[in-house]
Structure 1
Amino acid sequence: MSYKRENDLVSVVVTNYNNENYIGACLDSILNQSYKNIEIILVNDASTDKSINVINEWINNNENKINENFITVIDLPRNVGFSGAVTVGLFASKGEFIAFHDGDDVSHEKRIEEQVKYLKDNNNLNAVGCDYMVFSDENLEPVYRLNGITFGVDDIKDIYAKGGHCVCYGTLLFRGEVFDKVGGLSRNLNLVEDYEYITKLLPFGIDNMTHKLYYYRDHVNQRSKGLLDSTNKPKSEEDLKVLVVFDKFNIGGTETHALALVKGLIDSNINVIVASNDGPLKDEFKKLDCKIYNVDFPLTLVENEEEKLMYENKLKDIITIESVNIVHAHQSPSGSICIDVCNQLKIPCIFTIHGLYYQDIISDKLKLATEVISVSNPVYDWLLNYGITSTIVPNFIDFDTFSNTNKLQDIRKELNIKKDAFVALYCSRFAWGKTLVAENFIRVCRDIKRLEDVDIHALIIGDGPDIDKITQFCKRSNDILKNEYIHMIGPKTKLNDYYNSCDCVVGTGRVAIEAMAFNKPVIASGNLGYFGILKDENLEESWNTYFADHKFNKVNNASYLYKDLKYIIYNKNKFKSLSNTGNTWAKQKFDTKSNIKSIINIYQRAIDKSDYIY
């Protein structure tokens, strides 16, 4: 801003388009506020009715009650739409506080006074809305209707994290310095600009007051009716054609999530196309009823313009040939290209963020995605720090597939492991902090065998850039033990028999969920740190760290793992009931069926942003 905001002044931003019958009542309600340090910024968005005449007449009739600075009328020469008009008003505001107000609604006389006091009493908050009542031309007496308004900063945040809506735009009052940081409304989100702006305010702290200080007018021409009547979208879920894109058919958490996503969408009768580069997991995708395009995506962001254009044209060809109407990306190199292509073709791009390692796109490119999905609470909070609001949909699995079915392979027999021996399993991609976890796991199993005289065998499954390092560490450990107790299995696409054959699983994220599906005790140790044994009383806490993969309460230290693994070995029977509880809890939170519904809802919400065409 080119000027300092005026202390205690409240700038009320009112937009008007063809509200000749209602704008006078709106202005009266602002004039009659008990809080008097107010300026009105009224933006007339090139109305085609007699609104501007009504506004000027109102000013003339009240000239004895107002000073020359009380109301500023900005009469736009052409219609710029709701978001453009609001943004014009925001830039004209001078107050320490800014209040929104729809031109067809009215406010309780105490609204501004109580909201200003609320923010002054709560320095940790920067925005506040309130509950409201509804009236109409036929019934001018306001009545209360259930409206979904939620109270409490954390509860509001949780609602938006799940893709919900619980703050009424017209009731908002916020500190002007917040606008100076986040700017105005996005103009490419027709009919949902106010929702998107509220999500911009979330990182600054937002709450609702329980007092009903706003009166919402229900009438046939109101702007929000357009959202309900929008037909610019596929007529049913079956009309969706989703292109799922990721870098390569590797064996890892992101790729296996994509596999579960594609299978879940197909089971829901959604048309799915997959684009990725050749890799070991491709055969599993071939078993699904979907078309696969091989695209040799790079493993880093493309900087060369010619190379970038080549990839863009490949994606455009797929989208055109398959009549794709929504793209779902998962990784930075391929996903960055998807965002650019979708914006060029005016189709929605959904981007799932699987961890805290998207620094290459989080500050700029990711903000251009239509919708962002986060797989955990820590990822959601991390994105908020960059001004990106997402919807939490966790990694999910088909619990009908991951269960204690009859073993197809006798893993113990193949590996010469006795039936009564204790088998611990570690499964992960060997990269970043998970390589350290793998080394700790091998070291602990080796030392328990040496020091506790326990017949323990370790199974290590996975792939990644550090696989040779882990393989050599297994060999050295077996040399110390003078026998093969540490079994380097390597990459596997099917883990059921290994889960069935083990007594305990050490892992994080998706592996922890799969282990609970098999009723196995889990020790959570992840990319960021150590959580420990999953128990009845800490299951929700473990989810809030994503099993130590996205947040942690301890650093990864072999001594913690030694203590916990030893405890499970000597209390093996105790963990049968605990693991059953874990299975029930995990199924409620991570089963495919409910989470696929959430993703389809996100697809439909993205399509409802009717700037996109099909």
Structure 2
Amino acid sequence: MKILVYPHDLKMGGSQMNAIEIAAAVQGQGHDVVVFGQPGPLVEYIGDLGLEFIESPAVRRRPSLAAAKKLRHLVESRSVEVLHGYEWPPSLECHLAARQKEGPAVVSTVMSMAVAPFLPASLPLTVGTHQIAAVEQASGRSAVTVLEPPVDVTRNRPGLRLDQDSFRMRWGIRPGAQVVVIVSRLAYQLKLEGIFSAIDVVSGLARGRDVQLLIVGDGPARAEVTCRAEQTNSSHDRKVVLLTGELDDPRAAYDIGDVCLGMGGSALRAMAFAKPLVVQGELGFWELLTPVSVDRFLWQGWYGVGQDKERGRAQLGRILSELLTNPACRAELGEYGLSLVRDRFSLERAADTQIGIYSKALRDRTTFAAAPNTDWRAAARFVNYEGRRLLARWTGREASDDFNSRPIAARASLVGRNAP
């Protein structure tokens, strides 16, 4: 198959990493894959994995007619059979590019915490959790597949030569200090509340033990996180909270941690390094991954919603205190997470599933002319969405992370269950 993969951008992020790594694994099984998009930090990684990169036109508004036009040209000049958009803007642009007789198959992957309601129902959809799939199927979508975020367990594993000594020296990690690690985008939605809670909890623990919190990542909330970290360090007269900013290769951070906090793909990468994982969510959600708690995460994804921020901080404090004083428990839970990732979340398994999705989409592809009703309904919903977003911008209430600000897990009553 000739496949074009189109991530929503090429900055560091879980959805983008999934898109690129799965694309490389699919190419490794004998298919012709190119990656399309706006240049960004991940372009070098695309080349390192042996993938061809094609630059899209400059994008100002989404969906972009210029991007759709370039995609249509590539379909014709390269005989592309499958257009694969990640998240709603590329998915709509791929859909627009394929609106022609005998057009390519189009598939969409959404790794956000909820699916945009204006994605056409005729579009084959892949989501990251069984809970989101259930909601989409209940809304009338029939072509919904679950593909859990994969991990390259060859590049992410214990025992790699990652030069921990140099990493510790560069970022000010004290010899003998225990390290709690967060690798995360510093975003207002989903992330910031948990990062602040982790800073406060580790600050409290640091009064009685030598522990440091290592935060890896960048984003719109960096100034707020930096300010909170500086205030914490000043109160201790030593560095308790360390900020690295964005790292092109954060593997050494996972490798150096005694405990990792995280959600989504970051949580899975921590498990791949055999680290005990505390899953981060919102409204005070913190839960330790164990054989007892795992079913919840396999259903709703590596995320959750609590009920009280203060209670959540206390819960995180108890979990970290127990883990940091119990090396045997850390080792046991780390091995459990590593085994789970290798058995269920490997990149090879994800590539097999993705190839199956492409093959089915080619067999079942639907042209625009064959599905006008779903397209017009989707267009009406998009106009409604744009109107509400414009109103929110005027009133200062716009959510910067779009559908991640309205996660399905926070609306579990829609499907009436919390575990499989």
Within the candidate set 310, 327, 339, 2:66 is matched to: 310
In structure 1, what is the Cα distance between the partners aligned to 2:30 and 2:346? Answer: 18
Give 1:403-552 correspondences, 5 Å limit: 403-404=157-158, 405-410=160-165, 411-431=167-187, 432-450=189-207, 453-526=208-281, 530-548=285-303, 551-552=304-305
Q: RCO greater where, 1 or 2, for CA within 8 Å and sep 6 or more?
A: 2
In structure 1, what is the Cα distance between the partners aligned to 2:183 and 2:110? Answer: 21
- Residue 339 in structure 1 maps to residue 85 in structure 2: no
- Paired residues, number: 361
In structure 2, what is the Cα distance between the partners aligned to 1:558 and 1:581? Answer: 25
In structure 2, what is the Cα distance between the partners aligned to 1:299 and 1:545? Answer: 33
In structure 1, what is the Cα distance between the partners aligned to 2:77 and 2:182? Answer: 43
State the TM-score, normalized to the length of structure 1: 0.56
In structure 1, what is the Cα distance between the partners aligned to 2:295 and 2:363? Answer: 33
471 and 373 in structure 1: CA distance in 2 versus 1, 3 angstrom threshold: same
- State the one-letter code of the partner of 2:47: K
Match of 2:137 in 1: 384
- Residue 576 in structure 1 maps to residue 337 in structure 2: no
CA contact (8 A) 2:132 2:300 kept: no
Q: Quote the sequence identity (%).
A: 20
- Post-superposition Cα deviations, 1:66-99, rounded to whole Å, max 9, x if no partner, equal xxxxxxxxxxxxxxxxxxxxxxxxxxxxxxxxxx
Match of 2:5 in 1: 244
In structure 2, what is the Cα distance between the partners aligned to 1:245 and 1:384? Answer: 24
| Rg (Cα) greater in structure | 1
In structure 2, what is the Cα distance between the partners aligned to 1:397 and 1:297? Answer: 31
CA contact (8 A) 2:125 2:145 kept: yes
554 and 297 in structure 1: CA distance in 2 versus 1, 3 angstrom threshold: farther
471 and 281 in structure 1: CA distance in 2 versus 1, 3 angstrom threshold: farther
281 and 321 in structure 1: CA distance in 2 versus 1, 3 angstrom threshold: same
- State the one-letter code of the partner of 1:259: I
Match of 2:152 in 1: 398
Within the candidate set 311, 322, 336, 1:567 is matched to: 322
CA contact (8 A) 2:111 2:127 kept: yes
SS in 1 for 2:279: strand
Deviation at 1:299, TM superposition (A): 7.0
- State the one-letter code of the partner of 2:179: V
611 and 351 in structure 1: CA distance in 2 versus 1, 3 angstrom threshold: closer
> Runs of at least 4 residues of structure 1 off by over 6 A?
none
CA contact (8 A) 1:536 1:582 kept: no
SS in 1 for 2:149: coil
CA contact (8 A) 1:421 1:457 kept: yes
- State the one-letter code of the partner of 1:367: A
Within the candidate set 42, 48, 56, 1:287 is matched to: 48
In structure 1, what is the Cα distance between the partners aligned to 2:34 and 2:18? Answer: 15
In structure 1, what is the Cα distance between the partners aligned to 2:209 and 2:59? Answer: 47
Deviation at 1:320, TM superposition (A): 2.0
SS in 2 for 1:321: helix
- The structure that is helix-richer by fraction is 2
- State the one-letter code of the partner of 2:202: C
277 and 538 in structure 1: CA distance in 2 versus 1, 3 angstrom threshold: same
In structure 1, what is the Cα distance between the partners aligned to 2:121 and 2:282? Answer: 25
CA contact (8 A) 1:299 1:333 kept: no
- Post-superposition Cα deviations, 1:251-277, rounded to whole Å, max 9, x if no partner, equal 111111112112211221211111111
Match of 1:257 in 2: 18
Deviation at 1:391, TM superposition (A): 0.7
After superposition, the CA RMSD in angstroms is: 2.1
Deviation at 1:281, TM superposition (A): 1.7
561 and 333 in structure 1: CA distance in 2 versus 1, 3 angstrom threshold: same
SS in 2 for 1:573: helix
Structure 1 unmatched ranges of 5 or more? 1-239, 303-307
Structure 2 unmatched ranges of 5 or more? 368-420
SS in 2 for 1:476: helix
In structure 2, what is the Cα distance between the partners aligned to 1:367 and 1:358? Answer: 11
Deviation at 1:437, TM superposition (A): 1.1
- State the one-letter code of the partner of 1:315: L
CA contact (8 A) 1:531 1:542 kept: no
CA contact (8 A) 1:356 1:382 kept: no
465 and 300 in structure 1: CA distance in 2 versus 1, 3 angstrom threshold: farther
CA contact (8 A) 2:59 2:67 kept: no
SS in 2 for 1:523: strand
CA contact (8 A) 1:355 1:379 kept: no
Match of 1:102 in 2: none
505 and 297 in structure 1: CA distance in 2 versus 1, 3 angstrom threshold: farther
In structure 1, what is the Cα distance between the partners aligned to 2:284 and 2:60? Answer: 26
Deviation at 1:417, TM superposition (A): 2.6
SS in 2 for 1:454: coil
- Residue 588 in structure 1 maps to residue 349 in structure 2: no
- Residue 374 in structure 1 maps to residue 127 in structure 2: yes
Deviation at 1:513, TM superposition (A): 0.9
- Post-superposition Cα deviations, 1:292-312, rounded to whole Å, max 9, x if no partner, equal 11124647534xxxxx43222
Deviation at 1:385, TM superposition (A): 3.6
309 and 514 in structure 1: CA distance in 2 versus 1, 3 angstrom threshold: closer
- Post-superposition Cα deviations, 1:109-162, rounded to whole Å, max 9, x if no partner, equal xxxxxxxxxxxxxxxxxxxxxxxxxxxxxxxxxxxxxxxxxxxxxxxxxxxxxx
CA contact (8 A) 2:88 2:110 kept: no
In structure 1, what is the Cα distance between the partners aligned to 2:282 and 2:47? Answer: 30
In structure 2, what is the Cα distance between the partners aligned to 1:582 and 1:610? Answer: 38
- Residue 329 in structure 1 maps to residue 85 in structure 2: yes
In structure 2, what is the Cα distance between the partners aligned to 1:332 and 1:297? Answer: 17
SS in 2 for 1:445: helix
In structure 1, what is the Cα distance between the partners aligned to 2:266 and 2:335? Answer: 17
Match of 1:168 in 2: none
In structure 2, what is the Cα distance between the partners aligned to 1:424 and 1:299? Answer: 39
- State the one-letter code of the partner of 2:262: G
CA contact (8 A) 1:539 1:582 kept: no
In structure 1, what is the Cα distance between the partners aligned to 2:115 and 2:61? Answer: 11
277 and 555 in structure 1: CA distance in 2 versus 1, 3 angstrom threshold: farther
In structure 2, what is the Cα distance between the partners aligned to 1:518 and 1:373? Answer: 27
- The structure that is strand-richer by fraction is 1
State the TM-score, normalized to the length of structure 2: 0.81
Deviation at 1:601, TM superposition (A): 0.7
Deviation at 1:555, TM superposition (A): 5.2
